[in-house]
A = this chain, B = another copy of it.
Amino acid sequence: MIISDNLKMYVQKLRSSNLRPTKQRLKICKFLFDRKKTFHFTVETLNKKINKSGTSKVSLATIYNTVEAFTSAGYLKEILTSKNKSYYDTNIKSHHHFYDEGSKELTDIHYSQIKLSKVPVPPKGKKIKNLEVVIRIQK
């Protein structure tokens, strides 16, 4: 995770992914990555948080575009749920989730908390991109 006061690191990071460091993207970077704990969100929640204070607004379309761009660039990870809404995670390291069916909250499970002793061979011509475990919990 990137922790930084100044924006140089983000500028570099964005450039290295062929993303121009616009003020919107930098604002979103700062919000998402200037934190110690990982952050789970949907576009809706991100939009609210980014546009909360009276400062210049970032349009919803840009929030969508940016989340999509950051996900492709590997800065964000899309989370699997059964809800018809996309969830993202700033923790891109291999890890898993609890999904609380009541509160609809996601909690990280550190990768070391789950051990797979057997994994299938992928179909011919395909390779494994990632493996995600979701544990659904309820009261």
A residues with a Cβ closer than 8 A to B are: 78-82, 84-86, 98, 100-101, 107, 109, 113-120, 122-123, 125-139
Contacts and interface: CB of A to CB of B under 8 A. Distances in A.
Nearest to A97: B80
Nearest to A79: B82
A78 B86 contact: no
Contact of A126 (B100, B117, B123, B131): B100
A interface majority secondary structure: strand
Contacts of A107: 123
Contacts of A80: 80-82, 134
Nearest to A138: B129
Contacts of A115: 116-118
Contacts of A84: 84-86
27 contacts: A80-B80, A80-B134, A98-B120, A98-B123, A100-B126, A101-B129, A107-B123, A113-B119, A113-B120, A114-B116, A114-B119, A114-B120, A115-B117, A115-B118, A116-B133, A123-B137, A126-B139, A128-B136, A129-B137, A129-B138, A130-B136, A131-B133, A131-B134, A131-B135, A132-B134, A132-B136, A134-B134
A118 B120 CA distance: 17
